[in-house]
Structure 1
Amino acid sequence: MYVTAAILSVLLALVTLAAGAPKTVLKGDVSAGLQSHMGLSAGLVRFIGLAEVSATVGLIVGLFWQPLGIAAAIGMALMMIGAVGYHIQVGDYANPETRGNALAAVVLVPFFAATAVTLVLAI
């Protein structure tokens, strides 16, 4: 089970780092879109980015100390559920132009949950 947990943790760490780093420094289309289209403040976008980068660290360190990895995976699953709710609120799933980016949060929730479960089973 540890091998599965390690693979999921590393892959999700790469995803969260790639998503969080640009938000942390407020660079790129995603940060601009979150501010203009979604109406989020620059501070909130930066906070989300920092949470994603922190989850990256938690997922990697969690390979050696599972409680941290479990917490990071659960935290990111909850954050993605919140993102889904916010995307529903602004109507992204009904709009074909914004649906693709919004679906990333839906797809990632089960992967973060599976990572948490496999880390628990690897203890």
Structure 2
Amino acid sequence: MSTTYVVVTVLGAVMAGFSAASVFFHAEWTVKPLADYGVPRAWWPWLGAAKAAGAAGLLAGLFVPVVGVLAGIGLVLYFLGAVVTVLRARWFSHVPFPLLYAAPVAASLVLGF
């Protein structure tokens, strides 16, 4: 396991964890766009939980690689779904944000192979 892989994986986990916490604590910069995109408020805790589970899975993957791969795939799919949500809401200027969160997770998956 290379140092680069560990650093990128931890970075991806921290970013996903931060994103989850911002949903759990209803940070305005996170929940206002969710409302603007039309994401039902009842979904927010589940979305935060999915990101938190993905972050924990990435960290666990440093010790059990298959868990990290599954968590990484789940997070990449989650953030691709976020891109689709942003595109459907026609907020094209917001597309880079979910991609920014997906990048270190995808890099972690690539480095893991």
Do Structure 1 and Structure 2 share a fold, with TM-score over 0.5?
A: yes
**Would you say the 8 A contact 1:24–1:48 is kept in 2?**
no
Distance (whole Å) between structure 2 residues aligned to residue 50 and residue 112 of structure 1: 17
- Is 1:14 matched up with 2:8? no
Distance (whole Å) between structure 2 residues aligned to residue 8 and residue 77 of structure 1: 14
Distance (whole Å) between structure 1 residues aligned to residue 86 and residue 49 of structure 2: 20
User: What CA RMSD, in Å, does the superposition of the two structures yield over aligned residues?
Assistant: 1.6
- Is 1:83 matched up with 2:82? yes
Counterpart for residue 117 of structure 1: 110
> Which amino acid counterpart does residue 33 of structure 1 have in structure 2?
P
Distance (whole Å) between structure 1 residues aligned to residue 43 and residue 49 of structure 2: 10
Structure 1 runs (4+) deviating above 6 angstroms are none
Q: TM-score, normalised by structure 2?
A: 0.87
> Which amino acid counterpart does residue 14 of structure 1 have in structure 2?
V
Among 99, 103, 109, the alignment partner of 1:106 is: 99
| 1:31-50 correspondence to structure 2 within 5 Å | 31-35=31-35, 37-50=36-49
Give the paired residue count: 112
TM-superposition CA deviations, 1:65-118 (whole Å, max 9, x none): 11111111111111111111111111111xxxxx2x431212333432221122
Structure 1 unaligned blocks of 5 or more? 94-98
Q: TM-score, normalised by structure 1?
A: 0.81
Q: Which has the larger radius of gyration?
A: 1
Structure 2 unaligned blocks of 5 or more? none
> Which amino acid counterpart does residue 3 of structure 2 have in structure 1?
V
Between the aligned residues of both structures, percent identity stands at: 23
Secondary structure class of the residue paired with 1:91:
coil
Alpha-carbon spacing, 1:106–1:22, altered in 2? closer, same or farther (3 Å): closer
**Would you say the 8 A contact 1:24–1:47 is kept in 2?**
no
> Which amino acid counterpart does residue 27 of structure 2 have in structure 1?
G
